[in-house]
Chains A and B, each alone.
Chain A
């Protein structure tokens, strides 16, 4: 016999579930609360009306149809032969244990069958007890016996072990495992406990927001989750973001290799992986590595995929030790390992030691970032909405730490930062640009700025950046119409490019709250920020407010966008700064002549 379930429901509870469960198989529905596990079980039992769906029991001799909305078949719950164990057992409080079981017996069966069931469950002396005179474990057994009394074709267990203490739970696990040897019907169990599910079930069905994300053997799901959400739900730690790049070099293609760019921007680290040909180039992915594929050593490996790391923590827990490493990349990712204490001793590692990690490409599993279809739809709608965006470029500063020079005129590979920024804005088709100058006004006047750039000059630039910000917004308010959002771009951000700005605008479009979106790069405030027209009005109509001031005053209105992109925080502040930049990127940097 095979239980085949396909459900679709949108009103109130969202469900989009499909699975099969064979005789003798135990399928675990796993997911966070509200993911639709219990609703699915209730639908199978016929306790919940379903808009669209099929529930079939396929048998060699006879097929039973419990639900087929297309053909208007809906067998009521009391006519479906299901044995169900409820989360709190749902024993009838006014009936004794034996009466509870006898109630579920099919017509014509004698009470002796109920007595036999109690005996099988080890409940010989409890016939006449009421449910509240039984312990948690005993109640659970009565509930299970009651489910069996119905002579079920399917057994449904709704979090059956959540209401008992730990030792009892262990005994009950063993009993269920034994019990399974004697019955051959499909068993569906709902649990939020992944360990329990892995221990008991033959297959897992991972649910999230009413949708079945992945069905398969527990070990398989854990070692190769289909997407980032599944990985999170099955409790994998160390899930990292990266960009998947298809191989360009013929040798690499031949060896079916690809590159995983871990992190973003110049700090990203390329990892070599195997290309299974499932993902297109430049896909944003999550990746995990099965820890048995990581080698640890105090000496560097002369191989690809070798990373240096620092030991953050070593906790010896008997045979096993838990060790945390911080990988030495700019965004400081950490990796957690459970190693045998013997290995830890052999490696002789302690806190702050430097080690090298070799990540075997075979063990790296990548998956596309998952978002639910409903969520995707909403985001798409928001994205498709055209916004009129204005950019404000602030170049009023003195650049004193670099020795008084206009920082936005620093040339990188022959192009000034300002030119690079203007090009980026042009690429994004942002036409309305306000440039605010202060110091070195003359130097900017000499430039041949495009005609669409509105120029405002701040006489009082020495007071500080706030006055330039206010002047800029005032200019936007007075000279431009129907503005939806303003990007506040600092003139000394050398790396921000069109892609970065596009991401920022996307984040602004899909924001759920707030009027400002600010990039946050590992807890450091980034630039530029993007503000809504509402903030513009409030700042212009106030006496002193600046964008930073407004953000401090209304922290709830600020939506922080967590990113690893260093472009948003890197600026040319000091000479050393420029030197490291040159070293890392190999670009040529020319300082402008002092005015």
Chain B
């Protein structure tokens, strides 16, 4: 078992969750789903990483953040290091790749809050920020938690986009799933087996957990209406 890779994966997953979940909450609060073209476009952008092949996403990230791009160039000038083939690079890739997993459950949970409750918070004198913290977040906590679990699990398992953006640098960009690939390449089937089993069990447990959450979320809606 490549412990360094496991640790790197956990680090990457934790950071992704910490950054993406609050972002998801803000998006859900400030851009609620409406029946407008802009809203549909937003939904499409959010869902896009889900349907695109990781290689396509990886390609565009390389083009967009590589040393030849203006952003990559500027970043290198400012910090003296490249985005590509660095931990920061795979973090950015991971953030983008996980947008649907983080945002969609939160979005759905916010939508499930009846309009009446939002209205009631206004007539109770709560400004939008207080409404977010006192009403919307507590009422969508299950959706938020489920988004966090999904994002975390998905980051542990992501492969293609990380490989394209980060390559395979031990301690820097070699995550657990890349380590599995590496082990198989070097015919270390036992090592690959242990790590695969770990990811399999972890993902399975995480899915049981989110299923349980989504079921109780349905109950909660049913009770309200």
**Residue ranges of A at the interface with B (Cβ–Cβ < 8 Å):** 42, 45-47, 76-84, 86-88, 90-94, 103-104, 106, 132, 146-147, 149-150, 156
- The answer, among A76, A77, A83, A90, for a CB contact under 8 Å with B116, is A90
Of the candidate stretches B55-63, B65-73, B131-139, B208-216, the one touching chain A is B131-139
B122 & A103 in contact (Cβ 8 Å cutoff): no
Given contacts A104-B125, A150-B125, is CB(A45)–CB(B119) below 8 Å?
Answer: yes
A90 & B223 in contact (Cβ 8 Å cutoff): no
B126 & A90 in contact (Cβ 8 Å cutoff): no
Q: Which B115-165 residues have C-beta < 8 A from chain A?
A: 116-117, 119-128, 134-135, 138-139
Q: How many whole Å from B194's CB to the nearest CB in chain A?
A: 43
Q: How many whole Å from B154's CB to the nearest CB in chain A?
A: 28
The contact sample of 16 A-B pairs, CB cut-off 8 A, is A45-B123, A47-B123, A77-B119, A78-B124, A80-B123, A86-B119, A87-B116, A90-B116, A90-B120, A92-B117, A92-B120, A93-B224, A103-B124, A103-B134, A146-B124, A156-B123
A82 & B116 in contact (Cβ 8 Å cutoff): no
Which residue of B is nearest A88, CB measured?
Answer: B116
Q: How many whole Å from B215's CB to the nearest CB in chain A?
A: 17
Given contacts A78-B127, A103-B134, A132-B223, is CB(A90)–CB(B122) below 8 Å?
Answer: no
Count of CB-CB pairs between chains A and B under 8 Å: 67
Beyond A78-B125, A84-B119, A84-B120, 15 extra complex contacts between A and B, CB < 8 Å: A46-B122, A47-B119, A77-B123, A78-B122, A78-B128, A82-B123, A88-B116, A90-B117, A92-B121, A92-B139, A93-B220, A103-B124, A104-B125, A132-B223, A147-B123
Q: How many whole Å from B36's CB to the nearest CB in chain A?
A: 13
Given contacts A93-B220, A93-B223, is CB(A103)–CB(B126) below 8 Å?
Answer: yes
Q: Which B179-209 residues have C-beta < 8 A from chain A?
A: none
B119 & A94 in contact (Cβ 8 Å cutoff): no
Q: How many whole Å from A140's CB to the nearest CB in chain B?
A: 14
Q: Give bound CA distance, A104 to B121, whole Å.
A: 8
Cβ contacts under 8 Å, A86 to chain B:
116, 119-120
Q: How many whole Å from A55's CB to the nearest CB in chain B?
A: 14
Cβ contacts under 8 Å, B123 to chain A:
45, 47, 77-78, 80, 82-84, 147, 150, 156
- In this assembly, does B53 line the interface, its C-beta being within 8 Å of a C-beta of chain A? no
**Residue ranges of B at the interface with A (Cβ–Cβ < 8 Å):** 114, 116-117, 119-128, 134-135, 138-139, 220, 223-224
B124 & A150 in contact (Cβ 8 Å cutoff): yes
A77 & B122 in contact (Cβ 8 Å cutoff): yes
Cβ contacts under 8 Å, B126 to chain A:
78, 103
Cβ contacts under 8 Å, A47 to chain B:
119, 122-123
Q: Give bound CA distance, A47 to B117, whole Å.
A: 12
Q: Give bound CA distance, A146 to B116, whole Å.
A: 14
Cβ contacts under 8 Å, A103 to chain B:
121, 124, 126, 134
Q: How many whole Å from B56's CB to the nearest CB in chain A?
A: 41
Q: Give bound CA distance, A80 to B125, whole Å.
A: 8
Which residue of A is nearest B114, CB measured?
Answer: A90
Cβ contacts under 8 Å, B116 to chain A:
86-88, 90
Q: Which of B119, B121, B127, B139 has its CB near the most chain A CB atoms (within 10 A)?
A: B119
Q: How many whole Å from A221's CB to the nearest CB in chain B?
A: 29
Cβ contacts under 8 Å, A46 to chain B:
122
Q: How many whole Å from A19's CB to the nearest CB in chain B?
A: 20
Cβ contacts under 8 Å, A81 to chain B:
125
Cβ contacts under 8 Å, B122 to chain A:
45-47, 76-78
Q: How many whole Å from A50's CB to the nearest CB in chain B?
A: 15
Q: Give bound CA distance, A149 to B125, whole Å.
A: 10
Q: Give bound CA distance, A264 to B224, whole Å.
A: 55
Cβ contacts under 8 Å, A147 to chain B:
123
Q: Give bound CA distance, A91 to B122, whole Å.
A: 13
Cβ contacts under 8 Å, A88 to chain B:
116
Q: Give bound CA distance, A47 to B134, whole Å.
A: 19
B134 & A90 in contact (Cβ 8 Å cutoff): no
Q: Give bound CA distance, A42 to B116, whole Å.
A: 11
Q: Give bound CA distance, A149 to B139, whole Å.
A: 22
Cβ contacts under 8 Å, A92 to chain B:
117, 120-121, 135, 139
Cβ contacts under 8 Å, B124 to chain A:
78, 103-104, 146, 149-150
Cβ contacts under 8 Å, A79 to chain B:
125
Q: How many whole Å from A136's CB to the nearest CB in chain B?
A: 14
Which residue of A is nearest B120, CB measured?
Answer: A90
Q: Which of B123, B128, B135, B138 has its CB near the most chain A CB atoms (within 10 A)?
A: B123
Cβ contacts under 8 Å, B135 to chain A:
92
Q: Give bound CA distance, A104 to B131, whole Å.
A: 12
B119 & A90 in contact (Cβ 8 Å cutoff): yes
B120 & A106 in contact (Cβ 8 Å cutoff): no
Q: How many whole Å from A101's CB to the nearest CB in chain B?
A: 9
Q: Give bound CA distance, A103 to B128, whole Å.
A: 14
Q: How many whole Å from A441's CB to the nearest CB in chain B?
A: 68
Cβ contacts under 8 Å, B138 to chain A:
94
Cβ contacts under 8 Å, A45 to chain B:
119, 122-123
Which residue of A is nearest B124, CB measured?
Answer: A104
A42 & B119 in contact (Cβ 8 Å cutoff): yes
Q: Give bound CA distance, A399 to B112, whole Å.
A: 73
Q: Give bound CA distance, A87 to B116, whole Å.
A: 9
Which residue of A is nearest B224, CB measured?
Answer: A93
Cβ contacts under 8 Å, B120 to chain A:
84, 86, 90-92
Cβ contacts under 8 Å, B121 to chain A:
78, 92, 103
* In the complex, the 3 A-B pairs of residues with the closest C-beta atoms, listed nearest first: A77-B122, A90-B120, A90-B116
